[in-house]
A and B are shown apart, each in its own frame.
Chain A
Amino acid sequence: MKTTGEREAAMGKLFAAVSCLLLSAAAVAAQGAQAKMQERALPQWLTGIIAVSGFLFLAFVGFLVKKAWCEEPRSREVTVELVGEDEFVNKNIYESSPGTVRVKTVVGETENTYESTLDMVRSKDDMNAYDNLVMDGTEDKVTSM
């Protein structure tokens, strides 16, 4: 879903930004008493590398957490997001082509393919297009609207 995808990225960024601030704070605490450069325990470039690795690690953890956390609410949001939305199809040309056939397998895997299949089905034709595809129970919520 675009929302969750963007939210993922956005929350990831926010999370990463906060985490790197905390990381810098930790770096300072570690170096707290040292004022002169000669007394540094680690060379400067190493401090930088450690900070970057910590940041990337935290970003990765955040990404995993968001991916796990954002699975569930997504199905409920689908109903709201897709009402009356035709433009999605035109935008998601990149995604729409491989997605149609392998509906069952891709549901729940990546959000983009999921939304593209739904959009492809919904957009121009009658709403009953759903009936032809074997999908999860969540689809019932959509058609009933």
Chain B
Amino acid sequence: SRNVSFGFSLSILFIYSLKINPADISVIVGYFVAVIGVGVWAMLRSNRGTVGGYFLAGRTMTWWPVGASLFASNIGSGHFVGLAGTGAASGIAVGGFEWNALFIVLLLGWLFVPVYLTAGVITMPQYLKKRFGGTRISLYLTVISLFLYIFTKISVDMFSGAVFIQQALGWNIYVAVITLLLITALYTITGGLAALMFTDTVQTFVIIAGAFVLTGFSFAKVGGYSALLAKYSAATPSNFSSTEPQRYNISPSCYTPRQDAFNLLRDPTTGDLPWPGVLFGIAIVGGWYWCTDQVIVQRCLAARNLTHVKAGCIMCGYLKLLPMFLMVFPGMISRVLYPDEVGCVVPEVCKRVCGTEVGCSNIAYPKLVVSIMPNGLRGLMLAVMLAALMSSLASIFNSSSTLFTLDIWTRIRPQAAERELLIVGRVWVLIIVCVSICWIPVVQAAQSGQLFDYIQSVSSYLAPPIASVFFLAVFVKRVNEQVVRSGDEHLHRLVFSLRHSKEERVDLDWEQEEKGRRARREAEERRRETSCVGRLCGSSQAHEEAPPPEAPEKLPDIGEEPAWRHVVDANALIMMAAAVFMWGYYA
């Protein structure tokens, strides 16, 4: 989502629409059948009747759904449009956003998830509540996270995805979006996280396969990689003189491709993405996104043990090597092939081409899809966009539902039993689907791209404080909410240095937990007399004998078999070496 901060007025961009023909339609139908089929299969094989089963997939996931889900939840339709568009406009430095994540995701698996696992929490606000005590911090984090999801993540994906659908299918935008969201909500609500992670695996295949195909065609059309290197610096539009010289001039720097277009690390003072920002600034925001955000961490918590978490993180890292080649380079190829449209500079021309005077670099990827791909494969590219959109949105729906259910609802009604929480979780997904639909009028109203700049600013303001709070929480034992209450007895299994400790922990949130347990016990006794209604919702048997929805009583295990640990560590080292090589190559 951070890549889509540039002139995002896709809403009336496409005057070229994808002429849908039977081959395209069959590909799209096949894609939906595959996704829904996998969702149903996952739903049937998983136990969704408990909080742990619904929100954490029963902690049974192996490494490949974890890795694929991390990748698919991250890559949204905004990536396709934003990465390609920025690549067309200013070169490969925007790929640094993706390649920075290669290291951050390893921090997640090695440093942060072990602590979250031994803490026995499901949500990040729960972790902060246990670590610092009190309820304020967790409430702040819950509210901020929900706010950020609705206003930054969902909005970005809705912008890019809804328009693609409208332009590709020519449908009414509300019909298209509601249909898409209902399909997403279907397998999110019924299947929970397990269904999501397995469908994300399908989505990852689709995304990568389709993007590879387009990249192949693009490179073939432009004449190869070296041809791209040679031709990009010459990709200037034919119209570059001002139509009203008295009002404005167009200087050559506006339409000439950058000299450092093929450098990842650019001059700190004159570059558009200075290298200190790319290395350190992106790392901080990346630390928030990958290591402290519920969407990403929840997938790691659903793994069956720490080795699978680490392997999944490595797989996600390898996959994150690809966006540079699958999205950024095709964006640059698009500018080479269509300099007058993608690289337009005269405001009147740009307005004619894509509906906005600021620039048309954001049509880079869609233009390739429309112009280069043969029949049938255009449907595949539409499936790719839908896959990216649906996987991201479904993950956000599920994680926001987790946050709301376990952090806000349990505070409003501490006596809520598991079945009630599961119902609330599902209802919240419906609510947030409606909120997402409400973004459509905003999409149609906001023609200029300034809205996205504000969205990016908001998330950049809020991310570093959250990242630093979590960093301090995990690594610095002395940081506490109340100065008096310091000491190791509160911190066992909540900080990195004590993550293996087996001693009893004096919980800082003991009083609230006890109140909640008492309330649930009383409610359970009262309920025993009345009949139970909610057997329809797929939850477990009538007698609510199941334990209250807390972390499992036995200490969560973050031990690893040493053989696999060495394998995983070696793989991480190899992946980092590959990442360093790519950084060094393109620096």
Contacts and interface: CB of A to CB of B under 8 A. Distances in A.
Contact of B106 (A13, A49, A112): A13
B391 to A, nearest CB: 27
Contacts of B276: 25
Interface stretch (A27-35, A64-72, A126-134, A137-145): A27-35
B4 interface: no
B208 interface: no
B114 A83 contact: no
A14 B279 CA distance: 15
Interface stretch (B41-49, B248-256, B579-587): B579-587
B201 to A, nearest CB: 26
A20 B573 CA distance: 12
Contacts of A84: 502
Nearest to A3: B500
Interface stretch (B122-130, B322-330, B533-541, B561-569): B561-569
Instruction: Give the most central of A3, A24, A28: most B CB within 10 Å.
Output: A28
Given A36-B259, A56-B577, A81-B502, A51 B110 contact: no
A135 interface: no
Interface string A61-95: 00000000000000000001101110110011011
Interface in B55-112: 103, 106-107, 110-111
B585 A47 contact: yes
Given A27-B587, A81-B501, A94-B562, A13 B582 contact: no
A49 B579 CA distance: 11
Contact of A48 (B106, B111, B576, B585): B585
Interface stretch (B236-244, B260-268, B340-348): B260-268
A112 B565 CA distance: 12
Interface in A14-66: 14, 16-17, 20-21, 23-25, 27-28, 31-32, 35-37, 44-45, 47-52, 55-56, 59
Contacts of B224: none
Contacts of A83: 502-503
B522 interface: no
B502 A24 contact: no
A2 interface: yes
Contact of B501 (A55, A56, A80): A80
A24 B576 contact: no
A32 B267 contact: yes
A55 B106 contact: no
B501 A59 contact: no
A111 B329 CA distance: 47
A79 B266 CA distance: 51
Contact of A35 (B110, B259, B500, B563): B259
A87 B585 contact: no
A111 to B, nearest CB: 10
A85 B555 CA distance: 11
A109 interface: no
A41 B259 CA distance: 17
A2 B576 CA distance: 23
Contact of B577 (A47, A52, A88): A52
A87 B576 contact: no
Contacts of A85: 502
A24 B587 contact: yes
A14 B561 contact: no
A91 B561 contact: yes
A95 B560 CA distance: 12
A10 B103 contact: no
16 contacts: A2-B560, A6-B565, A17-B106, A23-B584, A25-B276, A27-B587, A37-B262, A48-B584, A48-B585, A51-B585, A52-B580, A84-B502, A92-B562, A94-B561, A94-B562, A112-B562
Given A23-B580, A27-B587, 19 more contacts: A2-B559, A3-B499, A13-B107, A17-B103, A21-B103, A21-B279, A24-B275, A24-B583, A28-B265, A32-B267, A35-B260, A36-B259, A47-B587, A48-B580, A49-B581, A51-B581, A52-B577, A81-B501, A85-B502
Interface of B: 103, 106-107, 110-111, 114, 229, 259-260, 262-263, 265, 267, 275-276, 279-280, 283, 496, 499-503, 557, 559-563, 565, 569, 572-573, 576-577, 579-587
